[in-house]
Amino acid sequence: MKPTVNKTVSLDEPVSDEDGLLYAAHRKVYPQSVRGTFRTIKWRLMVVCLGIYYLLPFVRWHRGLGAPDQAVLLDFPNRRFYFFFIELWPQELYYFTGLLVLAAIVLFLMNALGGRIWCGYLCPQTVWTDLFYAVERRVEGDRRERLKAAARPMTAGRAAKRVLKHAIWLMIAWWTGGAWVLYFADAPTLVHDLATFQAPATAYIWIGILTASTYLAAHPGRAHRRMGPQCRLQMRPRRAALLIEEIIRSASTRRKGRRLHRL
């Protein structure tokens, strides 16, 4: 038997041994656009989710004199969380804990009753990935056109389309990061301060971080969907059931062994 030798290999190149290839080289995926009832539902849910995320900071909610009128606001300087008619203080943290527990239970129930509803329709990575795919198809064409273009040498027109696609992606990612920081201050005021470069440095830093994370997760990270926690959460009940089954089988085997030893 030959000794095992550790080797450093690249995932972009096929790995082989004396018996042949171990696995195929990485290939770029060109998804085909689909149509139908569920795809239409997914498009509509995407529009609703994006509309809520981008426009909710600008919704007003009158709370009386001296109180902010933004419907959803995380007011860290004054240690308040406003959600329409709900106002939470730091000492009421148990409400957040209850909401998180309830959200986890709803997530597990969704998986048990309807499968991957959250991952397929409502997960933020899914929503933004679908948006990025829509931009890609709009700029470069559908799967057939992109396959034909990939087989030909790079041209100026193709390079211009690629630059335009990434520019739109970065614009979407930038607006996503900008919308997130609007939940932590008065949205119209912060937009004016950002446009006139009078906003705090923290706002610009977080916009940059969220722009990069959105772009990387929805573009290069879209081929690695296990980045999200949902796929791991879905395996927890199954792993727990397998563990319990293994414990019961081991206990039964030990009991049988003791009986045979007594005989």
For residues 48 and 136, membership in a common domain is answered with yes
For residues 108 and 179, membership in a common domain is answered with no
The answer as to whether 79 is a domain residue is: no
Q: What digits encode the pLDDT tens for the residues 103-155?
A: 888 877 777 777 677 778 878 888 888 888 888 888 888 888 888 877 888 88
For residues 46 and 157, membership in a common domain is answered with yes
For residues 212 and 106, membership in a common domain is answered with no
For residues 41 and 163, membership in a common domain is answered with yes
For residues 207 and 98, membership in a common domain is answered with no
- How much is the average pLDDT of 1-25? 54
Q: What is the DSSP string of 121-178?
A: II-HHHHHHHHHHHHHHHHH-SHHHHHHHHHSPP-HHHHHHHHHHHHHHHHHHHHHHH
Burial of 96 (0-12, 13-18, 19+ CB in 10 A): exposed
User: Which stretch, 110-119, 129-138, 231-240, 246-255, has highest mean pLDDT?
Assistant: 129-138
For residues 219 and 149, membership in a common domain is answered with yes
Which range, of 116-125, 187-196, 212-221, 241-250, averages the lowest pLDDT? 241-250
CB within 8 A of 172, min separation 6: which ones? 128, 131, 132, 135, 214
- pLDDT of 99: 80
- pLDDT of 102: 86
For residues 51 and 166, membership in a common domain is answered with yes
Mean pLDDT score of the chain, rounded to an integer? 77
The answer as to whether 100 is a domain residue is: yes
- How much is the average pLDDT of 238-249? 62
Residue 27 to residue 58: CA distance in whole angstroms: 43
- How much is the average pLDDT of 91-113? 79
CB within 8 A of 164, min separation 6: which ones? 139
Residue 14 to residue 25: CA distance in whole angstroms: 4
Evaluate if pTM is beyond 0.95: no
For residues 204 and 135, membership in a common domain is answered with yes
Distances in Å between the Cα of 15 and the Cα atoms of 5, 8, 40, 201, 223 are 14, 10, 41, 48, 21
For residues 105 and 208, membership in a common domain is answered with no
- pLDDT of 229: 52
The answer as to whether 134 is a domain residue is: yes
For residues 98 and 151, membership in a common domain is answered with no
Query: 133 near 31, Cβ under 8 Å?
Result: yes
Residue 190 to residue 180: CA distance in whole angstroms: 12
What's the number of domains the chain is made of? Answer: 2
For residues 107 and 176, membership in a common domain is answered with no
Residue 72 to residue 86: CA distance in whole angstroms: 9
Q: Residue 252's pLDDT band (boundaries 50, 70, 90)?
A: low
The answer as to whether 6 is a domain residue is: no
Distances in Å between the Cα of 174 and the Cα atoms of 191, 202, 205, 232 are 13, 15, 12, 29
Q: Residue 162's pLDDT band (boundaries 50, 70, 90)?
A: confident
Q: What digits encode the pLDDT tens for the residues 35-80?
A: 888 888 888 988 998 999 999 999 888 877 777 888 888 888 878 8
The answer as to whether 10 is a domain residue is: no
What range does the domain containing 168 cover?
Answer: 33-55+123-225
The answer as to whether 257 is a domain residue is: no
pLDDT at 236 over 60: no
The answer as to whether 73 is a domain residue is: no
The answer as to whether 254 is a domain residue is: no
